[in-house]
Structure 1
Amino acid sequence: MKKTPNDKSDILIIIPAYNESDNIESIVDEIIDGYPQYDYIVVNDGSSDATAKILKKRGYNHINCPINLGIGGAIQTGYIYARENDYKIAVQIDGDGQHDPAYIERVVAPILADEADYVIGSRFVNGERDGFQSSATRRIGIRFLSGLITVLCLKKVKDVTSGFRAVNSFFIDVFADHYPIDYPEPEAIMDAVMRKKRILELPVVMRERETGTSSINLRRSIYYMIKVTLDIIVCRISYGIRR
């Protein structure tokens, strides 16, 4: 998985993709055409649609997972690639086009200035006024998880489920070794908070996905809330025992 171009960037964009055949070309082309200063890797997470064929046909830089690892496993694969190729900063964006690459410069700037170790692109910093905000039910769930992390860690993060993130080389190494599997975003924040690293939340405008639908229905949302709540509590207890 080593990459050795002559003009390799220090910044890698990790794009996990599962059954994103309708969206993946537009987001990758947007990065290639508009933001050539960044490198990227698409992690095809065992898609059952035409995603793999599109990636191969278009010659996109990609990794094909042999089976579906889940979002956490796909992202961890991207971090392993980032570590093996000595990237200094990694940026996560979704393969469904909801994350606007125009904001990559904003989320990496504090890391480049050594003002943050972990930056979250947030929908809610500006009071939920701009861009796609998801459903009211999901926003309630996000507020609950945000409040839980605040109570347990005394650190306020508003958009704990945002998958738009940038991290420095410290977290590239950490996440290459371990990344939460099922619904990783809140637990990854918890891990960063407990490591006492500098976390910064900056406003970004999300876009609604053009095609396809979210895999998280009501039943999965309930499962998500129960599982993530327990994971966060267990994670906090674990750090409390060790420190």
Structure 2
Amino acid sequence: MKILVIVPAFNEEEGLVKVAEQFHGINDVDVLIINDCSKDATSEVGRKLGFNVIDLPCNLGIGGAVQTGYKYAYDNGYDIAIQVDGDGQHNPAYIKDLIKPIKEGRADLVIGSRYLKKEGFQSTFLRRVGINYFSNLIYLLQKKRITDPTSGFRACNRRVIELFSARYPNDYPEPESIVYLLRNNYKTEEVPVVMNERFGGESSINSFKSIYYMIKVTLAIVIDNMRKIGLT
């Protein structure tokens, strides 16, 4: 199976070094860096490390960067696409666990969750509040418990690649995309993973943006869910 690892990167020149170390010796996947118009040397560092790099002409945000990767995966015939953050938090040793339910036909989307076994870095307090909030919101609307709905460590099959290449949320896209898949009867699973602290760079979501995104994404999720019951 053709497997593509999509790494959205904004000002991640430090983190990409860690990513390269983590992927050293893993030869059965292709790694694609989506440089989201970084202001640092993300593009140059990515190429020097031997990665394929797409340089976006303007900053599209996490949603646009990731969707670029899905478009690439769809156009180039990949069977599985895996999202991995460019800051070194996600350990590729867990890729085999992520793709196993997909290979076995049990899931369309598999999420790496740090909260199934609660090992390793558990994120900041503010992020944990947001994660718990979206977990409860998704359960309320879809009756499916997702313990780590904001996890950027995810794998999906060809069906979802095609869908995401055409339709993907812009801001804080993980919870919204999960609800969309669930309401359209795609199979979603979680597997336990251990995540690291950010190796370098800065998160694109600060405290103010976190509150803004929570409100914005909540409205998007509720409106999208209303389509299921024919109210919009």
Shorter-chain TM-score tier: over 0.9
The CA deviation at 1:178 is 1.1
Q: What whole-Å deviation, never above 9, does each CA across 1:10-44 have from its counterpart, x for those lacking one?
A: 1111111011011113203431x231111111111
Residues 1:93 and 2:84 aligned together: yes
Q: Structure 2 counterpart of 1:41, which letter?
A: L
- State how 1:124-139 maps to structure 2 within 5 Å: 124-126=115-117, 128=118, 130-139=119-128
1:94-139 deviations in Å (ceiling 9; x for gaps): 000101111011000110111111100001112x3x0110122321
| Counterpart in the other structure of 1:183 | 172
Pairing partner for 2:143 from 150, 154, 157? 154
Deviations 1:56-102 (A, max 9, x none): 34442111111111100000000011011101010001000101111
Structure 1 residue runs without a partner (length 5+): 1-8
Q: State which drifts further: 48-57 or 159-168.
A: 48-57
Could you give the per-residue CA deviations for residues 152-192 of structure 1, whole angstroms, max 9, x where no partner exists?
A: 11111110000000000000000000110011000010011
Q: 1:242 to 1:41 in 2, by over 3 A?
A: farther
Which consecutive segments of 4 or more residues in structure 1 shift more than 6 A? none
1:17 alignment partner in structure 2 = 9
If the length of structure 2 is used for normalisation, what is the TM-score?
0.95
* Aligned with residue 115 of structure 1, among 88, 101, 106: 106
Q: Which residue of 2 aligns with 1:4?
A: none
Residue segments in structure 2 that go unaligned for 5+ positions in a row? none
Fraction of identical pairs, as percent? 48
C-alpha displacement at 1:224, in angstroms? 1.5
Number of residue pairs matched by the alignment: 232
- Distance in 2 between residues matched to 1:44 and 1:218, nearest whole Å: 24
Does residue 236 of the first structure (1) align with residue 221 of the second (2)?
no
- Give distance in 2, aligned partners of 1:154 and 1:210: 35
Coordinate RMSD, CA, aligned: 1.5
Give the partner amino acid of 2:203. S
Partner of 1:140: 129
Name the residue aligned to 1:3. none
* 1:76 alignment counterpart: 67
Q: 2: distance between equivalents of 1:187 and 1:236? A: 10
SS of the aligned residue for 2:70 comes to: helix
The one-letter code matched in structure 1 to 2:113 is: S
Distance 1:47 1:219 in 2: 21
